Amino acid sequence: MEKLNVSLGERSYTISIGSNLLDKKNIFYPLKTGNKAMLVTNKTLANIWKDKVLRCLFEQGIKVDEVILSDGEKYKNLCEMESIISSLLENTHGRDTTLIGLGGGVIGDITGFSAAIYQRGVRYIQIPTTLLSQVDASVGGKTAVNHVLGKNMIGVFWQPASVLIDIQFLHTLPKRELVSGIAEVVKYAIIFDSDFFVWLEKNIEGILNLDIKLMKHCILTCCKFKLRLIELDERESDCRVLLNLGHTYGHAIESHVGYGNWLHGEAVSAGIIMAARTAEKIGLLKNKDVKRIEKLMSRVGLPIRGPKNMLPSSYFPYFMRDKKVISGVIRMILPVKIGEAKVFTGIDEDIIKSVITDCIQNN
C-alpha cells in the first residue's frame, strides 16, 4: 500500500492506494471503535460492495447506518442530498459522526457536500470506486451538486478526513466508465508531464486491461500531481484552475445533452480536443501535438468530437455561467505543449465557434 499526505495544516489527510485494502485491519482512518458513521452509496454498488465494506466497519467496531441513492449523474442534486440529511437526522447522528462515500464522483461529491453542511460540518471519508474518482474527484475537497443550468454550481470546499483507493473496485467497473476515467488521466499528462504522456502512449492497452502494476503507477502519479496543486491553491484561486483543462467545453456538453447522457470523462475528452484545437488556432500548440492527443483519446475509445446536434451557439450560455468566468470574461485553460497548460482570456468568439464547428460529430 502506498500512502500520500495532503498537507493542509489542520485539514491535512492521507490518501491510501493499493489492492485488496478492505482485507486490512483498521483501514478506515480516523475512525475508532465506538464511533458512529453513515455509509452513502448507490443502488448499483450496494449490490456489489456494500456488504464487504459494512463488515469491515463492524469488525473495526464502528456503528454504521446506511443510505442508498439512485445511480447516475442526473441524481446529483439537492433532492437526493436531502435524503442523506434526513437519514442522518432520523438516525440521530451528531457532530461527531463521519460520512463515508462509497462510489464514483457523484457519490463522492454529494457525500462531501452533505458532510460540509450537516450541523455546520462533519467528517467524511472518500472510498472512490471509479477510475475517474480515484485519479481526480475524490482528492481535493471540491464538493457539489448540479443545477439544471450548470454542473457543480452548488457546493463548497470541504476536505475529506481520508481517501481510500482500492484498485480492486475497478474490476467491477463497466468498460464505458473505465474508459471515461482515462480522460482525466490524459488531462494530467497534458498539463504537467510530457514523459507521463509518452508512458500512457506506450501502456494504454495495459491500463485498459487493468494491469495491477500499471494501474497503481497511473493512479499514484495523478494523485501526486493533484495534491501538489491543492497544497499550493486549495480553493482554486490561482494555479489549481489548470485542472479544468477541457472542462469549459466539457461541462457545457454535459449540461446541454442532459446529465448522464454523456459521461463526465467523455465530455472532458471532447473538451480537451476543443481546447487543443483552440490553442492551435491562435498559434500556441503545434498540430503534431494536437494529433498525438487525438490519437491517444481515440485509442482509448473516447470521443474527439462534440455532440452532432449541439451547435456553437448552444455552448456560450454555459460558458458564461462557468465558474472560471471573472467580470463576464471567459477564461480558458489551453495546452501550449504536451506537458504544459496556461490560462487565457479574451479569446475571439469567432475562433471558439469555428473550433466547435470543426469538432461537431458527423454521424
d(CA 271, CA 352): 12
d(CA 139, CA 146): 19
d(CA 339, CA 197): 8
Residues classed as catalytic: 120, 142, 184, 226, 236, 240, 244, 247, 251, 264
For 318-325, which contacts have Cβ atoms below 8 Å and span 24 or more sequence positions? Answer: 318/150, 318/251, 318/252, 318/255, 318/256, 319/248, 319/252, 321/149, 321/150, 321/153, 322/150, 322/248, 322/251, 322/252, 323/152, 323/153, 324/241, 324/244, 324/248
Q: 328-351: string of b/e by CB count within 10 Å (b at 16+)?
A: eebbbbbbeebbebeebeebeeee
Burial classification of residue 326, based on how many CB atoms lie within 10 Å of its CB (0-12 exposed, 13-18 middle, 19 or more buried): exposed
d(CA 11, CA 25): 24
Other CB atoms within 10 Å distance of the CB of residue 199: 17
d(CA 339, CA 328): 29
Beta strand ranges found along 105-161 (DSSP E): 123-128, 142-147, 150-157
Strands 63-69 and 36-42: parallel
